[in-house]
Amino acid sequence: MKISKAILFGALLLAGVPALAQRADVFGEYSYLHFTPGIDGLESRSFNGGGGGADLYFLKIFGIKADFMGYASTTFTKTYPNTVIVPGRGTIPAGTYSVQGNMYTYLFGPVLRIPLPVVHPFGEALFGGSYTDAYANLAKAINANGGTLSAPSQHPFTLAAGAGVDVSVSHRLAIRLGEFDYVLTRYSNPLTNSSNQNNFRYTGGVILKF
For every residue of 99-121, DSSP letters joined together read EEEEEEEEEEEEEEE---SSEEE
pLDDT score, position 11: 53
Find out whether 191 and 89 touch, Cβ atoms under 8 Å.
yes
State residue 74 phi and psi, 5-degree precision: -130, 165
Q: Could you report the per-residue pLDDT of 48-80, keeping only the tens digit for each? A: 999 999 999 887 889 999 999 999 999 999 899
Which residue positions in the chain have pLDDT lower than 50? 19
State residue 117 phi and psi, 5-degree precision: -60, -40
CATH of region 2-209:
2.40.160.20
pLDDT score, position 210: 85
Query: Residue ranges per domain, the chain?
Result: 2-209
pLDDT score, position 195: 83
List the beta bridge partners of residue 131: 104
Q: How many helices (H) and strands (E) does the chain have?
A: 2, 10
| The model's pTM | 0.86
pLDDT score, position 207: 97
pLDDT score, position 22: 72
pLDDT score, position 2: 53
d(CA 37, CA 198): 8
- Dihedral sign for Cα atoms in the order 152, 155, 161, 163: positive
pLDDT score, position 43: 84
Using DSSP bridges, classify how beta strands 84-86 and 90-92 pair: parallel, antiparallel or unpaired.
Answer: antiparallel
Q: Measuring CA to CA, which residue among 54, 68, 67, 49 is closest to residue 17?
A: 54
